[in-house]
Amino acid sequence: MDRILLGEDDVEVRPLLEHILMDNGFRVTTAENVASATTLLGSQPFDLAICDVNLPDGSGLTVADKAIAAGVKALVVTGHQLSLKPGSLAP
């Protein structure tokens, strides 16, 4: 069973994504911010990190970079869709 780190600060979206992932057989650990996500990456094994771009204390891209450096696949998502400007995702 694959282990997923889910970095999402939205209190309505996080449990929904967690539920969907768990219903599909994944073990999910959640984090609300960059600090807790990076701490979890350093203390537990994960197969995939899914992270929101905009977290309260920084960018989910930072988490993705740390995940990739640790050999963990990363997926970055955002709910800001077309409001993002080129270059605005830089960590």
- Give the pLDDT confidence score for residue 79 in this predicted structure: 78
Region label for 7, one of left (φ > 0), alpha (ψ between -120 and 50) or beta (otherwise): beta
The string of pLDDT tens digits covering residues 63-87 is 999 999 999 999 999 876 655 555 5
Q: Which of 46, 42, 50 minimizes the C-alpha distance to 27?
A: 46
Q: Using H for helix, E for strand and C for coil, what is the string for the chain?
A: CCEEEEECCCCCHHHHHHHHHHHCCCEEEEECCHHHHHHHHHHCCCCEEEEECEECCEEHHHHHHHHHHCCCEEEEECCCHHHCCCCCCCC
The string of pLDDT tens digits covering residues 16-66 is 999 999 999 999 999 999 999 999 999 999 999 999 998 999 999 999 999
